[in-house]
Amino acid sequence: MFGTLLIANRGEIACRIIRTARRMGLRTIAVHSDADANALHVAMADEAHRIGPAAPRDSYLRIEAILEAARASGAQAIHPGYGFLSENAEFAEACAAAGLIFVGPPPAAIRAMGGKSQAKALMAEAGVPLVPGYHGEAQDLPTLQSAADSIGYPVLIKASAGGGGKGMRVVDAAADFPAALEGAQREARSSFGDDRVLVEKYLTRPRHIEIQVFADTHGNCVSLFERDCSIQRRHQKIIEEAPAPGMTTTMRQAMGEAAIAAARAVNYVGAGTVEFIAEGDAFHFMEMNTRLQVEHPVTEAITGLDLVEWQLRVAAGEPLPRTQAQLAIQGHAIEVRLYAEDPARNFLPSVGTLSHLKLPEGIRVDSGIRALDTITPDYDPMIAKLIVHAPDRRAALARLSQALAQTEVVGVQTNLPLLRALATNPAFAGGTFDTGLIARHPELLDGTATTPDLALAAAALTLLARRAQAARTATDPHSPWSAQDSWRPNLPGQQTLLLRHGAETTEVAAHPAPSGGWHLEWDSIQRTAHHDGANLFRLGTTAARAAVIAAPPRLTVILDGTNHTIEELDPHAPPEAATVGAGRVISPIPGRVARLLVAPGDTVAKGQTLLVLEAMKMELPLAAPAPGTVAALRCAEGEMVAEGVELILLESA
């Protein structure tokens, strides 16, 4: 076994690899961009090396910079994690040329399975069923359009060189194909440096089921059973579980044998995942990921194994620790991905500083993020993976709901409300779901919540306490201007708070209660409220614990697992100016202008795409809010823009 391991990655996967390597007695080397200089994986490693600026192409995708870090640190092996260079055959070859062990499959296997078209041709030769589609070399629009027309709509355009939903578009009609192809190719080129695509029939109610395989250099290959990854948004997984609900022994064996045959066909070594799309009793090969998967923890939970340890041992030349006969499924595991994104806005990524982060205890949590860390537009916006394991699926779902209720995030928008809604969704709980579950249930995406009276009271009590503290620490605490006793001439003592929550504004009148606490009045109803410490708030006869996170002028009250943002308004402040008008296109997130589709003087229709913004590994088309004429462009292609800036000015029609 080698003694020093460099992890050519970042975030939660780098932290997860470091934990196993440390347990095995290995010295760990981290690499980092400028944006990650203070990241958790850097703090955890024994040694860390800078490899470039924030942009991945200038840091985590720079092969020579990573090899230089390996030389400088004396590393003997490199683990690529997932994403970035994990499925890059040139990187694997460069490691070998530098005398380093690449913890992954041989370059030939990466190439064979890295191109989806080539991989599907191999599977066809092996007799593995495929989804009808075009997997040829020609990439011109007429050829691909003709193939799509022959297959029949809807079709799916997929990047040949990558995965994770990048470079993927669903096309429902022939007229939409050219624009969808252009967007898929552009996104594929940006994500993988390769704009080749394939076209397949789009199955309308499929399940996404994958098989974890493992092979060594001694000719052994096993299946570590299946994972169901059907709960997705933007063709990316957000919930994975093992075993798959409703999986029969016969189908599990057939899929496992097909996956092993796929691995043997390319002389595979290490951890890999063969992905299938299934409808009813039929399954079709989609692709093989020649790396460790994001969702590998659920396989570890049901098998009791450490797959990273297996990777390291196989890379060192050892045989697989177990045979197929020694492997068995134990219980049920579910993983959810907690993302900084807004489901109600088409899962738009959210950037900002995590002013408060509390992750559940008693379950496995994989994360590379800490409280006060910043989610930047440079990388994937995943905050953490929460993994639960129980004797059966019903118990696992109960543990999942409990864990999600204990999770608190303030500072960015997250998909936490969606995950909570999914955990109790009847179709998901009943195991009768497919990849279209979220699309068919738009109510799952409604993260809005009515602010309960107790949340308003908690905010009011917190603000009143803050005023009292300010009076006690004033320069002249005896000045009448510093008094916070609610005194008014010829009237009962009262303080007034103007609170905005969502689209509503509530005026709260606060009177000191003779027995302590406050009488709070709004909507013509007076209530007695107390803050008993330890996050316990009382309103009348109701008591509950609520966390109140202050980021003036806003408060976030976390009550029953739900965030309620409440802002104190100054009643004497001038009216706020409108930030978005009908004739302005505003950047909703920091990002790079990938493409401008209009020029000054162009006439545009409402809903017409004007430009494409690229951020957090995804493309965001921005459309005209109303018909009009392009009066001015405030940005240029390739330019980095901040959130909230004006990009295009329109004159109304």
d(CA 441, CA 433): 11
C-alpha distances out from residue 349 to 44, 336, 415, 423, Å: 27, 17, 10, 22
Residues near 495 by beta carbon (within 8 Å), at least 6 away in sequence: 464, 467, 484, 486, 509, 510
129 three-class SS: coil
Q: Nearest-CA neighbor of 266 among 94, 121, 122?
A: 122
DSSP class per residue in 504-564: EEEEEEEEE-TTSSEEEEETTEEEEEEE-STTEEEETTEEEEEEEEEETTEEEEEETTEEE
Per the annotation, the verdict on 252 as an active-site residue is: no
The alpha carbon dihedral of 161, 163, 167, 172 has a sign of: positive
C-alpha distances out from residue 638 to 378, 447, 522, 593, 615, Å: 14, 33, 51, 5, 12
Amino acid at 104: G
Q: What does the buried/exposed string (b/e) look like for 598-611 if buried means 16 or more CB atoms within 10 Å of the residue's CB?
A: beeeeebeeeeebb
Residues near 168 by beta carbon (within 8 Å), at least 6 away in sequence: 156, 157, 158, 159, 184, 235
Amino acid at 170: V
User: What is the DSSP secondary structure assignment for residue 176, as one 8-state letter?
Assistant: G
Determine how many CB atoms are found less than 10 A away from the CB of residue 210.
27
What tokens does 561 get? 């697992």
DSSP H helices in 59-115: 63-73, 89-97, 107-114
Q: What are phi and psi of 308, to 5 degrees?
A: -70, -40
Residue whose pair of structure tokens reads 């399954």 in the numeric block: 283
Amino acid at 423: A
**Of residues 16, 291, 527, 538, which has the active-site annotation?**
291
207 exposed, middle or buried (CB, 10 Å; 0-12, 13-18, 19+)?
buried
Q: Nearest-CA neighbor of 61 among 38, 29, 39, 94?
A: 94
d(CA 271, CA 214): 5
Catalytic residues: 291
